[in-house]
Amino acid sequence: MKRTKIIDLFRPEMIGQEVSVMGWVRTRRGNKHVQFVALNDGSTIKNIQIVLDMSKFSDEELRPVTTGSSIHVTGRLVESMGKGQTCEVQADTLEVFGTADVETYPLQKKGHTLEFLREKAHLRPRTNTFGAVLRVRSTLAFAIHKFFNERGFFYLNTPLITASDCEGAGAMFQVTTLDLNNLPHTEDGAVDFSADFFGKPTALTVSGQLEGELGATALGAIYTFGPTFRAENSNTPRHLSEFWMVEPEVAFNDIYDNMDLAEDFIKYCINYALENCRDDIDFLAQMYDKELVDRLKFVVENEFVRLPYTEGVKILEESGKKFEFPVYWGADLQSEHERFLVEEHFKKPVILTDYPKDIKAFYMKLNDDGRTVRAMDVLFPHIGEIIGGSEREADYDKLLGRIEELNIPMKDMWWYLDTRRYGTVPHSGFGLGFERLVLFVTGMTNIRDVIPFPRTPGNAEF
């Protein structure tokens, strides 16, 4: 008999059928006449109840069926009398694939803390919480591809290993095949990278944007969706050393088009999750965050506020609120400032634009005032910055001016400057931190809990 996934058992037409079910035991309870097993196979948050009539099975057969063990059951799917479930399987046969020692299985008990589960990252996907989070994550990833595909964007794969160290987005992880215990040196004593694998220093990418611009100025509209790496020592609930970033880049879009795209994009993804992961989201809401569904709907249904940085700083200064970090024109806003604007002042997502050029990257288009750039950060409740983007400087001379002002080594940038030298066009794009979106949609509070295998300073165990 072919196996049926548990999610499909709940379809009404399945009632009365003989089924074959496989999964991991969540709990077993009962008495000497009848035993009940709650079985989960990861296809849905819902468990299927397996009913074992003990006139057909021996105690011996049931002994290895403990929390965490894996089993195969065949039997008839019938409507359930028990409350909380619609159907159950009345078992005819039982096969145990693998046992899980009651003494050592780490998830034996329910109700472990998220901190405890982080130490057991190799097994935590088997819990309700992480099952839900990982299904939502997967659904959001699909929504991202679907959104861009429906709008005629091309998926561009940008390199993970890069030789340019000028994105300015953060400290980089070096990539080398040199023997660290026996480094080759040049005559002046520096490490001789010409002997390295690529013949020059290389590192893991912090962003696919610069290469994304090459794609956009050829294909018109592209997006990247891949891992990025930042070697910053930032131990916060919103930073990972390895995270996934989505970076659309569109030729002929100005900053207003860019804001529209960002807003449509986020709303589409959240809506898609609400429509396709409702069981998981409801579970997470019930467990961790009662306001989750309302918050998600609120974001989808309301327009984001659009506000220049200068106005934002004014609001913060006049708020009378004591912040840990001072606010003044020119300051890089901290998460506490972003969250004040979003959660307390506007009570809506905010797109903050036109930041001082000194706190933003060299490639952003300079405004006519000469001191601000066409940047746009999307700020979200509970999260702070979820998207950072801009209209790019399309003018060759102005861009070169910025590169020189900031002493960015030209030898690294020649290929990027070619986009402005040959057929330059206005264009815009942004980067969405995928895990921050997953954080928002799941209502989790620590970014380590929304990626299967978190990498943070000092932590790369699993």
Residues that bind Mn ion (CB under 5 A): 388
The only residue of 388, 429, 443, 454 in contact with ligand ATP, by rule CB under 6 A: 388
Tell me whether residue 28 or residue 230 sits nearer to ligand ATP (CB atom): 230
| Integer Cα distance of 362 and 404 in angstroms | 10
DSSP code, position 106: T
E-strand spans in 188-320? 202-204, 221-229, 242-251, 305-308
Q: Is 169 in the site for ligand ATP (CB under 6 A)?
A: yes
What interhelical angle do 292-301 and 434-442 show, nearest 10? 120
Indicate the pairing of strand 34-40 with strand 48-53.
antiparallel
Stretch that binds ligand ATP, among 11-19, 56-64, 88-96, 428-436 (CB under 6 A): 428-436
CA end-to-end span of the chain, whole Å?
A: 36
The two structure tokens encoding residue 68:
């965490």
Q: Is 137 in the site for ligand ATP (CB under 6 A)?
A: no
Tell me whether residue 7 or residue 169 sits nearer to ligand ATP (CB atom): 169
Cβ(337)–Cβ(380) below 8 Å:
no
Q: Is 309 in the site for ligand ATP (CB under 6 A)?
A: no
Q: Which residues of 278-295 are buried (b: 16+ CB within 10 A; e: fewer)?
A: eebbebbbeeebeebbeb
Tell me whether residue 9 or residue 262 sits nearer to ligand ATP (CB atom): 262
Cβ(211)–Cβ(159) below 8 Å:
yes
Tell me whether residue 184 or residue 452 sits nearer to ligand ATP (CB atom): 452
Stretch that binds ligand ATP, among 59-67, 79-87, 136-144, 385-393 (CB under 6 A): 385-393
Question: To the nearest 10°, the Cα dihedral for 149, 391, 239, 120?
Answer: 10
289 binds, among Mn ion, ligand ATP, none (CB under 5 to 8 A by kind): none
Tell me whether residue 52 or residue 386 sits nearer to ligand ATP (CB atom): 386
Q: Which residues of 200-213 are buried (b: 16+ CB within 10 A; e: fewer)?
A: eebbbbbbbbbbbb
Q: Return the CA Rg of the chain.
A: 27
Tell me whether residue 10 or residue 380 sits nearer to ligand ATP (CB atom): 380
239 binds, among ligand ATP, Mn ion, none (CB under 5 to 8 A by kind): ligand ATP
Q: Is 387 in the site for ligand ATP (CB under 6 A)?
A: yes
Shortest distance, position 108 Cβ to Mn ion, whole Å:
43
Tell me whether residue 107 or residue 364 sits nearer to ligand ATP (CB atom): 364
Tell me whether residue 209 or residue 424 sits nearer to ligand ATP (CB atom): 209
The only residue of 435, 440, 448, 455 in contact with ligand ATP, by rule CB under 6 A: 435
| Integer Cα distance of 89 and 85 in angstroms | 11
The two structure tokens encoding residue 324:
């840990």
Q: Is 245 in the site for ligand ATP (CB under 6 A)?
A: yes
H helix and E strand count, the chain: 13, 16
Residue 308, beta-bridge partner list: 353
Shortest distance, position 388 Cβ to Mn ion, whole Å:
3
Among residue numbers 322 through 361, which ones bind ligand ATP (CB under 6 A)?
none
Q: Is 243 in the site for ligand ATP (CB under 6 A)?
A: yes
Shortest distance, position 171 Cβ to ligand ATP, whole Å:
10
The only residue of 28, 46, 137, 230 in contact with ligand ATP, by rule CB under 6 A: 230
386 binds, among ligand ATP, Mn ion, none (CB under 5 to 8 A by kind): ligand ATP
366 binds, among ligand ATP, Mn ion, none (CB under 5 to 8 A by kind): none
381 binds, among Mn ion, ligand ATP, none (CB under 5 to 8 A by kind): none
Cβ(430)–Cβ(388) below 8 Å:
yes
Stretch that binds ligand ATP, among 63-71, 84-92, 364-372, 383-391 (CB under 6 A): 383-391
The two structure tokens encoding residue 213:
């611009």
Indicate the pairing of strand 221-229 with strand 154-155.
parallel
Shortest distance, position 457 Cβ to ligand ATP, whole Å:
11
| Integer Cα distance of 38 and 290 in angstroms | 26
23 binds, among Mn ion, ligand ATP, none (CB under 5 to 8 A by kind): none
Q: Which residue has the tokens 């066009």?
A: 425
**Residue 399 carries which side chain, given as an amino acid letter?**
L
Residues of this chain that interact with ligand ATP (CB under 6 A) are 169, 230, 239-240, 243, 245, 385-388, 431-433, 435-436
